[in-house]
């Protein structure tokens, strides 16, 4: 091995996931970049201080700016996303709101996808509106029709594809084409696919955000957000805002996120395989009206998913057949052996959530009349998961 762990020529993704962000011989041979618990960084003399602090975002100079630990994660994520640099912040929600704040000012108009993650909507309806930014929500399936919603003061179009409750797949290239022709910035929440299966910047999106909390961390034990930018100017713009907001993921979280990233290349394909098995089984059940999972050929977003994505994660929705009673769903929810009731996803464990997608919308009406559940298919044996689901459907149908 050479003195640096960085490969001398382009390698395949699996290889890069094992090597990116490392510098073993810069760290006494340690395979992983150690946790640098540093707020204060010392400088040997005044000249070095002046030199390094004149390059505010590119050098190790203060814990909130850059440490070897955050640099390792951020450069590995940027490499996976084909970006210039990534910025790690304290949560996925912080990544979404920081990216918005960095690109909006009073008087601007924002186009926000109607299927967006709840706290992202809340950001628009509270903080952004207080500070004079007007939001129009748009149909996730609008495609090139987004052009009709653009105003002279529209500066940002925000996408999330697929949405994490309703799983509509957006026509990103069509929306990006409209944005580019008008000089509008596009920001995309890419948490569902992760950069392993979708690279927003390759599709012309200007800012990629994600909750690293989910598949990058992969073990349900860290909150972290990542913002990836395509060039130095856009990186500096967002880093200036994240720093001003005081945003920086802590060193232990950064370390765990990078450890998670090392295995995302084997975990996510397994989530996908198991999720597809479970989704196909669910689709054949009489208690199920619709499975919301783009890899299924029956899903309305399937064609775009095939065109644009390299794979799928383990998160899906299930619309129950009309007539499922509240009592039946409560029996179902409360008796799972393997699916935990939890609002997150992306870890090794399976989860279930009773969702209400009809409540969080304003531009569109959620068309499915049945009650909706969201399942995260973890890394357990899919046969065991199906047995757990089968028992749950028996409880749903049992007389209360
Ligand atoms: C699509 C999506 N984006 C962002 C977030 C926010 O991530 P975090 O919980 O790390 O703030 C979530 C969390 O559930 C999410 O589902």
3-state secondary structure string, 289-353?
EEEECCCCCCCCCHHHHHHHCCCCCCEEEEEECCCCCHHHHHHHHHCCCCCEECCCCCCCCCEEE
Distance 344 CA to ligand 1 centre (A): 8
Residue 163 CA to ligand 1 center (angstroms) comes to: 11
Confidence of residue 398 (pLDDT cuts 50, 70, 90): confident
Cβ of 96 closer than 6 Å to ligand 1, yes or no, is yes
Strands 288-292 and 109-113: unpaired
- What are the tens digits of pLDDT across the range 340-384? 999 999 999 999 999 999 888 999 999 888 899 999 999 999 999
Task: Among 3-7, 247-251, 328-332, 389-393, name the one with the lowest average pLDDT.
Answer: 3-7
- Residue whose CA is closest, atom 9 of ligand 1? 92
| Residue whose CB lies within 8 A of the most ligand 1 atoms, among 95, 162, 191, 347, for a mutation test | 191
Which residues, at least 6 apart from 303, have a Cβ–Cβ distance to it below 8 Å?
none
Which positions ≥6 away from 267 have C-beta within 8 Å?
Answer: 215, 218, 348, 379
Q: Is the CB of 111 under 6 A from ligand 1?
A: no
First-to-final CA distance of the chain: 65
What is the 220 CA–ligand 1 centroid distance (Å)? 12
**Atom number of ligand 1 nearest to Cα 224:** 10
CB-based contacts of 58, cutoff 8 Å, min separation 6: 66
pLDDT tens, position by position, 244-284: 999 999 999 999 999 999 999 999 999 999 999 999 999 99
What CATH number has the domain spanning 13-260?
3.40.640.10
Q: Locate the domains of the chain by residue range.
A: 13-260, 264-397
Residue 291 has pLDDT above 80, yes or no: yes
Confidence check: pLDDT of 3 > 50? no
164 in ligand 1 pocket by Cβ < 6 Å? yes
The residue to which tokens 């090392």 are assigned:
262
Q: Is the CB of 223 under 6 A from ligand 1?
A: yes
Give the pLDDT confidence of 206-234 residue by residue, as tens digits: 999 999 999 999 999 999 999 999 999 99
pLDDT band at 7 (very low <50, low <70, confident <90, very high): low
Rounded distance from Cα 278 to ligand 1 centre (Å):
23
Q: Is the CB of 68 under 6 A from ligand 1?
A: no
Query: Residues 381, 348: contact at Cβ < 8 Å?
Result: no
Q: Which residues are catalytic?
A: 64, 117, 189, 214
Q: Is the CB of 191 under 6 A from ligand 1?
A: yes
Domain 264-397, architecture per CATH: Alpha-Beta Complex (3.90)
């Amino acid at each position: 091995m050479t003195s640096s762990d960085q490969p001398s020529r382009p390698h395949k993704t699996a290889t890069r996931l094992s090597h990116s962000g490392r510098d073993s011989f810069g760290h006494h041979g340690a395979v992983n970049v150690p946790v640098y618990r540093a707020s204060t960084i010392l400088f040997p003399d005044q000249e070095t201080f002046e030199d390094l602090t004149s390059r505010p975002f590119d050098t190790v100079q203060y814990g909130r700016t850059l440490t070897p630990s955050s640099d390792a994660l951020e450069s590995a994520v940027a490499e996976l996303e084909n970006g210039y640099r990534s910025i790690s912040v304290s949560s996925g929600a912080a990544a979404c709101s920081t990216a918005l704040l960095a690109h909006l000012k009073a008087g601007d108009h924002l186009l926000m996808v109607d299927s967006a993650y709840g706290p992202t909507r809340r950001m628009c309806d509270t903080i952004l509106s207080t500070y004079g930014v007007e939001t129009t929500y748009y149909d996730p399936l609008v495609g090139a029709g987004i052009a009709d919603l653009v105003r002279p003061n529209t500066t940002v179009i925000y996408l999330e594809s697929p949405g994490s409750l309703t799983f509509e797949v957006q026509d990103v290239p069509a929306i990006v084409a409209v944005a580019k022709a008008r000089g509008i910035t596009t920001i995309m929440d890419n948490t569902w696919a992760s950069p392993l299966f979708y690279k927003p910047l390759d599709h012309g999106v200007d800012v990629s955000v994600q909750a690293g909390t989910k598949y990058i961390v992969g073990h349900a034990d860290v909150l972290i957000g990542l913002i990836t930018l395509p060039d130095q100017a856009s990186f500096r713009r967002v880093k200036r805002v994240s720093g001003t907001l005081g945003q920086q993921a802590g060193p232990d979280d950064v370390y765990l996120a990078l450890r998670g990233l090392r295995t995302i290349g084997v975990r996510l394909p397994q989530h996908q395989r198991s999720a597809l098995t479970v989704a196909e089984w669910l689709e054949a059940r009489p208690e199920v009206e619709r499975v919301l999972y783009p890899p299924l050929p029956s899903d309305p977003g399937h064609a775009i998913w095939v065109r644009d994505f390299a794979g799928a994660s383990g998160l899906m929705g299930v619309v129950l057949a009309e007539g499922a009673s509240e009592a039946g769903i409560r029996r179902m929810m409360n008796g799972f052996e393997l699916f935990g009731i939890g609002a997150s996803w992306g870890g090794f464990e399976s989860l279930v959530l009773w969702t209400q997608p009809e409540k969080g919308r304003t531009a569109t009406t959620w068309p499915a009349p049945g009650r909706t559940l969201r399942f995260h298919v973890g890394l357990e044996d899919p046969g065991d998961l199906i047995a757990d689901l089968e028992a749950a459907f028996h409880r749903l149908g049992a007389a209360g």
